[in-house]
Amino acid sequence: MSQSIPAPAAAPAAAAAHEFTPGLFIRGIQAPLRLADYRLVAFDMDSTLINIECVDEIAAAAGRRDEVAEITEAAMRGEITDYKDSLRRRVALLAGVPVSAMQQVVDERLQLNPGVETFVRACQAAGLKTLLVSGGFTFFSERIRQRLGLDFARANTLGVYNGRLTGTLQDRPWGDICDGAEKRRVLLEVCELMGIDAAQAIAVGDGANDLPMMGAAGLSIGFHGKPAVREQAMVSIESGGMDRALEILRP
């Protein structure tokens, strides 16, 4: 393996970004980079790998989409700093929604974002392990993991009773909620299990709760990110699909 992996774990927020190609910005790195110099890539799910925020779509079935979406947007912008509290508030509003409504979201609304499959396949072809780590829900993350053939996944599990959501989240052996801190911890744990340094990891996300794992990784990629992500990501894709990362990361 080449030893030309960039040293900084994260670009400082104050570092100036410049437009590498139209709609593609970089900061704190010398491009192009070699994809094969990395060993792991971690992805957020909602609005990163997929085109929707799943909690908002489930809320639509309960007639509470606007109320839930408002909390989601505030959390992703970083205006609500307690992500766990914001998620509990949103999930509580889903009480009584039938599980069939989640399948309807999968069937009618959920799509991979443009360029996602191309980028994931390129990472896999270059020998990288793939990790999905989401503040969303296992009902959706397991389907995406299987569809893309990802190696690892972590997300939250919704409580269900008699075929309907209870408005709660199930406790898991690793903790209660996969928030920004848990995303970072999982990325670092997988790196340790693989016997690699965090500098050999790539983290891809769009919201404020992705910044902890993006800051821990050797390369951070913002995909149509919220302002806080655009201000800190080492690579910021602001137009086009996720495969635009391959303009920076050459095979």
Residue 54, pLDDT above cutoff 90: yes
Positive/negative CA dihedral, 229, 230, 232, 235:
positive
Say if CB 97 and CB 62 are below 8 A apart: yes
Measure the CA–CA gap between 36 and 123, rounded to whole angstroms. Answer: 8
Say which of 46, 179, 206, 210 is annotated catalytic. Answer: 46
Higher confidence at residue 61 or residue 41?
A: 41
pLDDT value of position 251:
82
The single residue listed with the structure tokens 């766990």 is 84
Over residues 147-183, the pLDDT tens digits come to 999 999 999 999 999 999 999 999 888 877 999 999 9
At a CB cut-off of 8 Å and minimum separation 6, what does 103 contact? none
On the question of pLDDT at 15 being above 90, the answer is no
Separation CA 176–CA 182 (nearest Å)? 10
Least confident of 32-46, 72-86, 141-155: 72-86
Please state the φ and ψ torsions of residue 95, each to the nearest 5 degrees: -55, 130
Q: Using the Cα atoms of residue 43, residue 48, residue 49 and residue 50 in order, give the sign of their dihedral.
A: positive
Render pLDDT for 127-152 as a digit per residue (tens, 0 to 9). 999 999 999 999 999 999 999 999 99
66 tagged catalytic: no
pLDDT of 159 reads 96
- The answer to whether 42 and 75 are in contact (CB under 8 A) is no
Catalytic entry in 37, 44, 56, 210: 44
- Spatial separation of the C-alpha atoms in residues 68 and 167, rounded to whole Å: 13
pLDDT at 12: 45
Reduced to 3 states (helix: H, G, I; strand: E, B; else coil), residue 244 is: helix
Q: Is 44 a catalytic residue?
A: yes
Tokens at 84, concatenated: 């766990």
CA distance 219 to 231: 14
The yes-or-no verdict on residue 93 having pLDDT over 50 is yes
Interval 206-235 mean pLDDT: 96
Quick one: DSSP state of residue 65? H
Q: What is the CA radius of gyration of the chain?
A: 18
Q: What is the mean pLDDT of the chain?
A: 92
Q: In the chain, what are the domains?
A: 18-51+112-160+167-250 (3.40.50.1000), 54-108 (1.10.150.210)
Neighbours of 136 (CB within 10 A): 24
pLDDT digits (tens, 9 = 90+) for 18-33: 999 999 999 999 999 9
pLDDT at 76: 75
